[in-house]
């Protein structure tokens, strides 16, 4: 049996990756033109109006995800620390990988808009990390992220540029992708039956760690309207904000109610409160800029809270028991299923969309519905022609929304299975089951 490479060697490999990123930035990237000094004439308009939105998302990625994962009693260093490490490498990689699809003059042009995209891409990896939390080395997480961002960037381009699906909150391209990718990796890394008995008792919260996790939950909850609305503007943006706000509020109320209904002795369960309250934000993601009306946002949010609590209560234990499929943070219940729900609703609302209701914004939201003879399509002439060409009708667009979620989940699962196989190679150090969920594997920890 091959000896796995040591932690030290692993980190040196990451150093090589960081150096390569530096070289790529030097050779193939440059500031976006609006970041350069104006030589003559007026300066180009900047994108600084998006900066408050960016900062809200930045809080979600680094505080939100980081602290949400502190719920395990002895994994708080890893949760906050690995989150910071993984996201820091991933945003650089995402700037490069996503930038490859939009090069100008052979250069990746870096802008604030690209930073927003990079943060959102990093979220995808952090979601996958949630499925695996406590069972991998940081090197495994980083390697997983390197694979995942590449596949993510390609799929995002496929869905938004060729399939022309609408998904402003990223439910399909981010949440579904990240969740099913992570679950597929987790499946490959599942324990042997013979190892199941081997366990420490660290897969659970302490009173204090549960409250730290609420820091993450609540910041995610607060800034989710910014996440869902960052890529739209004007009336669409204000609508995305309001719909997400309503969806989250309704999901939260329903989560508490369901938690009491299904839990032991009708007491509230912190797992539900920390996670299912957020499912409303995922579930309105693909539709938040559509005319779903306030009751639609409340309905979708409520269904997401319901689905998510039921998932935590009944489905996750079954997946663990029958498939040995671990999902530490329950990303299937917070991100996976609510994202599929969002995609289904996006198909329903796409099927119902009319020019009469949406005015010309119909073609901003669903550019493939532009009549192929219309001059409007010329605004998109620098983009690839949509699959099936311009001139889709509403039912066709609905079909593409469904195709979008199906193909995304398929790509995520295949990508995750392949990535998992790589992570399981004999050269990768695996954490033995009795050292899972324990900061001591990676950190110097003070004596209690």
DSSP-derived 3-state class of residue 31: strand
Question: Which CB sits closer to a copy of itself, 162 or 358?
Answer: 358
Q: Tell the smallest beta-carbon distance from residue 11 to a copy of itself (Å).
A: 5
x-or-dash string of contact with a copy of itself, 234-253, rule CB under 8 A: xx-xxx-xx--xx-xxx-xx
Q: Phi/psi at 383 (nearest 5 deg)?
A: -95, 160
Query: Other CB atoms closer than 10 Å to residue 292's CB: what's the count?
Result: 23
What residues numbered 133-162 form the site for a copy of itself, per CB under 8 A? 138
Q: Give whichever of 68 and 183 is closer to a copy of itself, judged by the CB atom.
A: 68
Q: Which of 214, 352, 402, 417 binds a copy of itself (CB under 8 A)?
A: 214
Quote the radius of gyration of the chain (alpha carbons, Å): 22
Cβ neighbour number for residue 365 with a 10 Å cutoff? 19
Q: Which is nearer to a copy of itself, 296 or 386 (CB)?
A: 296
- Taking the least distance from each CB to a copy of itself, the nearer of 389 and 427 is 427
Of the candidates 104, 198, 294, 354, which one interacts with a copy of itself according to CB under 8 A? Answer: 294
**Sign of the CA dihedral running 380, 383, 389, 393:** negative
| 196 near a copy of itself (CB under 8 A) | no
DSSP string, 173-232: IIIIHHHHHHHHHHHHTPPPGGGTT---S-SS--HHHHHHHHHHHHHHHHHHHHHHHTT-
Contacts of 371 (CB under 8 A, 6+ apart): 377, 390, 391
Q: Is 98 in the site for a copy of itself (CB under 8 A)?
A: no
Per-residue contact track with a copy of itself, 344 to 383, x per CB under 8 A?
Answer: -------------xxxxxx---------------------
**One residue of 69, 72, 97, 110 binding a copy of itself per CB under 8 A:** 110
Measure the CA–CA gap between 306 and 320, rounded to whole angstroms: 21
In this structure, what token pair is assigned to residue 32?
Answer: 């976006």
- Under rule CB under 8 A, residue 262 binds a copy of itself: no
Q: Report in angstroms how near the CB of residue 7 gets to a copy of itself at its nearest.
A: 5
Give the separation between CA 158 and CA 175, rounded to whole angstroms: 16
Query: How far is Cα 86 from Cα 145, in angstroms, rounded to an integer?
Result: 7
Torsion, Cα 184 270 438 326, to 10 degrees, reads: -20
Which one of the spans 124-132, 222-230, 327-335, 366-374 is the region binding a copy of itself (CB under 8 A)?
Answer: 222-230
- CA–CA gap between residue 102 and residue 157 (Å, rounded): 10
| Least separation in angstroms between CB 318 and a copy of itself | 20
Check residue 295 for interaction with a copy of itself (CB under 8 A): yes
Considering only residues 301 through 320, tell me which ones interact with a copy of itself, judged by CB under 8 A: 302
- Give me 63's structure tokens: 């505080």
Distance, in Å, from the CA atom of 397 to the CA atom of 350, rounded to the nearest integer, reads 6
- Residue 109's DSSP bridge partners are 30
CB closer to a copy of itself out of 122 and 412: 122
Query: Taking CB under 8 A as the criterion, which residues in 55-94 touch a copy of itself?
Result: 55-56, 58-59, 62-63, 66-67, 70, 73-74, 76-77, 80-81, 84-85, 88-89, 91-92
Asked if 442 is part of the footprint of a copy of itself (rule: CB under 8 A), the reply reads yes
Choose which of 1, 3, 40, 193 interacts with a copy of itself (CB under 8 A). Answer: 40
Does position 434 bind a copy of itself by CB under 8 A? no
Instruction: Report the Cα–Cα distance between both ends of the chain, in Å, rounded.
Output: 37
Contact stretch for a copy of itself (CB under 8 A) within 17-25, 169-177, 326-334, 422-430? 17-25
Among 227, 256, 312, 349, which residue sits at the site for a copy of itself (rule: CB under 8 A)?
Answer: 256
Q: Does 8 bind a copy of itself (CB under 8 A)?
A: yes
Residue 256, C-beta contacts closer than 8 angstroms, at least 6 positions apart: 268, 272, 273
Q: Which of 100, 154, 188, 270 binds a copy of itself (CB under 8 A)?
A: 270
Instruction: Locate 378 and state its tokens.
Output: 């010329």
């Amino acid at each position: 049996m091959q000896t796995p490479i040591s932690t030290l060697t692993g980190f040196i490999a990451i150093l090589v990756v960081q150096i390569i990123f530096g070289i790529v930035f030097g050779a193939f990237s440059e500031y976006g033109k609006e970041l350069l000094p104006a030589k003559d004439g007026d300066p180009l308009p900047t994108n600084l109006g998006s900066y408050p939105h960016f900062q809200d998302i930045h809080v979600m990625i680094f505080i939100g995800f980081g602290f949400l994962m502190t719920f395990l009693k002895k994994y708080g260093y890893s949760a906050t620390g690995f989150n910071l490490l993984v996201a820091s490498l991933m945003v650089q990689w995402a700037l490069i990988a996503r930038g490859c699809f939009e090069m100008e003059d052979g250069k990746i042009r870096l802008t604030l808009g690209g930073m927003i995209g990079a943060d959102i891409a990093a979220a995808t990896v952090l979601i996958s990390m949630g499925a695996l939390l406590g069972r991998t080395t940081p090197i495994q997480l980083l390697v997983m992220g390197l694979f995942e961002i590449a596949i993510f960037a390609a799929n995002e381009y496929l869905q938004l540029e060729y399939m022309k699906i609408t998904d402003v909150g990223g439910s399909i391209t981010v949440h579904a992708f990240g969740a099913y990718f992570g679950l597929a990796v987790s499946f490959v890394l599942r324990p042997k039956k013979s190892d199941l008995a081997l366990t420490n008792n660290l897969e659970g919260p302490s009173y204090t760690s549960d409250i730290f996790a609420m820091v993450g939950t609540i910041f995610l909850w607060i800034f989710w309207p910014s996440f869902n609305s960052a890529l739209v503007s004007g009336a669409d943006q204000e609508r995305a904000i309001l719909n997400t706000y309503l969806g989250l509020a309704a999901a939260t109320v329903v989560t508490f109610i369901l938690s009491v209904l299904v839990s032991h002795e009708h007491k509230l369960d912190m797992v539900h409160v920390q996670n299912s309250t957020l499912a409303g934000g995922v579930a309105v993601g693909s539709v938040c800029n559509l005319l779903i009306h306030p009751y639609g946002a409340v309905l979708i949010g409520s269904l997401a809270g319901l689905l998510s609590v039921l998932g935590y209560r009944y489905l996750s234990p079954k997946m663990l028991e029958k498939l040995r499929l671990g999902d530490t943070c329950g990303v299937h219940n917070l991100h996976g299923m609510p994202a599929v729900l969002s995609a289904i609703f996006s198909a329903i609302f796409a099927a119902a969309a009319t020019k009469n209701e949406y005015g010309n914004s119909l073609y901003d939201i669903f550019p493939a519905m532009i009549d192929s003879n219309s001059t409007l399509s010329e605004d998109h002439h620098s983009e690839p022609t949509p699959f099936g060409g311009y001139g889709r009708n509403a039912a066709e667009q609905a079909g593409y929304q469904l195709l979008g979620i199906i193909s995304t989940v398929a790509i995520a699962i295949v990508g995750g299975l392949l990535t998992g196989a790589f992570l399981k190679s004999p050269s990768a150090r695996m954490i033995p089951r009795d050292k899972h969920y324990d900061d001591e594997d990676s950190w110097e920890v003070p004596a209690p």
